[in-house]
Chains A and B, each alone.
Chain A
Amino acid sequence: MKPTRLFASTRTAVGLLALIAAASTAGTFAPSLDVFRSAWFALLLILLALNLAVCTAQRTPALWKGIRSSGPSSRKEAAGRLGLYFIHGGVLVIIVGALIGAVSGFSGEMRIAEKESAGVFHAAPQGAARELGFSVRLDRFLVEHYSGGAPKTFRSDITFVRDGAVLGGGVLLVNHPVSFQGLRFFQASYGREAVAAELTADDGRRRAARRMAAGDKCFLPDGTSVRVLRIEEDLMRMGPAVKLQVESKEKEALFWVFQRIEELEEQYPDVSAAHPQFNPGLFKPWRLRLNGVEGRYYAGIQVARDPGAPWVAAGAVLMLAGLALLFFRIIVNGVHSSRSGKADFRPL
């Protein structure tokens, strides 16, 4: 068989479709296989694209003949053929666009806290940072809630800055991305992060108060050091808390201090005795107290560049136009020849 005949056969097309469907099924059940970014999956798509290209090319002369000839029945036939032509051409363009995107596109996430800037993004959660070439400043972050408390929408006001010069900006909302220099920015997620904790220490005679960020270390009047390991605005739904490492020459202790410790002790009596790591007086004689936690919003922003996207969009429009033509050919004009026993609509 000639190579073009082999590629143009329906058997090859259906076989390739079956392989792609089987590979996709495997991909959903075993995400670890990473089917959709593998080379062999791309190869299957390329083979399908070749099949489509050969089929479409072979169909062209007959299509022209059908369009040139007159008469209502052959015109209906031509509409159906044109429909099939568009559908297959559209799918071909979609695959080409997807491959362009896979080769030269990228996407990643950046996390920016309010009033801060970031100039890098991460393609994978733990992946290496990539430079944007400019930085994104989050000027303001807002969350709007329904009366019941569920989040309704959230927005980031962002500015693009390079070397201190403002290049542009925009308002980023869920479902409303912002484009800048060939990159598209999307509002993906948000959250809050604790910035600083207001702490006091008391040994009955002396009292020390400090505002500390995570990682900060300070010394109490007797030389005992206090280091803030973690700050949480809401730890396990028990309110603000800090994890401290308290150290003197003789001993060391690691424990959490909750802001609402009195409330918690009322709710769970003996909590400090049963769980020393939750006892604010663990490091005697000092008793530590958390007076407040200062937090701020951060925005999870997705950044993407996909040069294939316009191709995919054009292919989808072409395919839908073809489906519309086929719809009118088959449904509106009826399936007349099905009782003759032959296939009721032959593409060629």
Chain B
Amino acid sequence: MQSAANTTVFAWAAVIYFLSALIYIAAAPGKRENRLKTAAYSAWAGFALHTFALALRWIESYRMGIGHAPLSNFYESIVFLAWAGVLFSLVMERRSVGVPGVFILPAASLVMFYASFSSGIERGIQPLAPALRSNWLASHVISCLMGYASFAVACGLGVMLLAGERKIRAGGPSGKFMPDAARLDELIYCSLVVGFILLSIGIAAGSVWAHSAWGTYWSWDPKETWSLITWIVYAAALHLRLSRGWQGKRTAALAILGFISVLFTYLGVNFLPGLHSYLN
């Protein structure tokens, strides 16, 4: 497969994310407004380039005569995941300046560097296998991956909340770096609800698709089962919060636990046999 222009643009988006991550980290202590603004602008620039690369890859696939949305292999999925994460970060910035970007942009740039330069990843555009040629591919993959991105954001915010609490207990200058716990708690809750809704839509879309492709809406394939386990973990987290008043550190811990389950659903099950394994 020839090296295509879109992968170069993705790599440049990784570079810009890296730069804005540096600015975020430099701006975070003391919450310097001007630097945070610069960081957000550069994140927007990277996001625009990233979006352009996605569109370019889609167009290039049509030029190759095997046109399909760039959502079908591992490279395309992690690149889309980073895109969704940055999108959530930029949306949240409107409510809570500087908070999510400090960790999402470094994470996004890491993921994009890994996607662009790791030797183990197939970056070419491949033709779709017969079973993947469905209108449900886009809705299923987009909602699942956006759900995963939202859960990743919740997990990162949860780590920030726990780290902040520890600093407060140690008597350190937490106020300078960490946003207040109530704000973080609110953002974690929003991310969990959005992720839960997106995951539910993704599972439902996948079931409709499976019903027409494999003859059954649910076949207890490892990926399906793990998506259900993840869904249950978050359902339990939301119940504990809504009717038992779990908040703050407890919600943060559940957000981290849930994301471990997400990671297993996304990557771990590829090592178990099943219909969804696309790593090999």
Contact = CB atoms under 8 A, between A and B. Distances in A.
B65 interface: yes
Contacts of A348: 243
Interface in B199-247: 200-201, 204, 207-209, 211-218, 220, 222, 225-226, 228-229, 232-233, 235-236, 239-245, 247
B73 to A, nearest CB: 13
B250 to A, nearest CB: 12
A175 B241 CA distance: 40
Contact of B220 (A36, A188, A306, A331): A36
Interface stretch (B16-24, B42-50, B183-191): B183-191
Contacts of B239: 10, 13-14, 17
A223 interface: no
A177 interface: yes
Contacts of B218: 98
B133 interface: yes
Nearest to B127: A146
A17 B254 CA distance: 14
B168 interface: no
Contacts of A335: 186, 189-190
Nearest to A13: B239
A267 interface: no
B55 interface: no
Interface of B, secondary structure class, is: helix
Contacts of B189: 335, 338, 344
A316 B201 CA distance: 9
Contacts of B209: 175
B10 to A, nearest CB: 23
A347 B243 contact: yes
Interface residues of A, number: 56
Interface stretch (A22-30, A61-69, A197-205, A285-293): A22-30
Nearest to B213: A175
Interface in A324-348: 324, 326-327, 330-331, 335, 338-339, 342-348
A184 interface: yes
Contact of B226 (A14, A28, A324): A28
Interface stretch (A150-158, A163-171, A239-247, A271-279): A150-158
Contacts of B211: 309
A338 B185 contact: yes
Contacts of B220: 27, 36
A320 B213 contact: no
Given A14-B236, A25-B229, A347-B242, A175 B212 contact: yes
Contacts of B130: 151-154, 174-175
Interface residues of B, number: 52
A154 to B, nearest CB: 6
Contacts of A326: 193, 197
B216 A304 contact: yes
A14 B241 CA distance: 11
A217 interface: no
Interface string A21-50: 100110111000000100000000000000
B247 A327 contact: no
B134 interface: yes
A348 B193 CA distance: 18
Given A174-B213, A316-B207, A343 B245 contact: yes
A112 interface: no
Contacts of A152: 127-128, 130, 133
B241 to A, nearest CB: 7
A304 B212 CA distance: 11
Contact of A21 (B185, B201, B204, B229): B229
A347 B128 CA distance: 45
A13 B242 CA distance: 13
B195 to A, nearest CB: 12
Given A304-B216, A309-B211, A346 B242 contact: yes
Contacts of A138: none
Contacts of A21: 228-229, 232-233, 236
B243 A343 contact: yes
Contacts of B186: 335, 338, 344
A319 interface: yes
A215 B41 CA distance: 75
Contact of A148 (B127, B229, B269): B127
B66 A177 contact: no
B215 to A, nearest CB: 4
Contacts of A342: 245
Interface in B45-73: 65-66
A153 B129 CA distance: 8
A21 B213 CA distance: 26
A313 B197 CA distance: 17
A326 B194 CA distance: 10
19 contacts: A28-B226, A28-B269, A107-B216, A150-B127, A152-B128, A152-B130, A174-B213, A175-B130, A175-B131, A175-B213, A184-B215, A186-B214, A302-B214, A304-B216, A323-B196, A323-B201, A327-B193, A330-B190, A343-B245
Top 6 A-B residue pairs of the complex, sorted by shortest distance between their CB atoms:
A186-B215, A302-B215, A36-B220, A174-B130, A146-B127, A304-B215
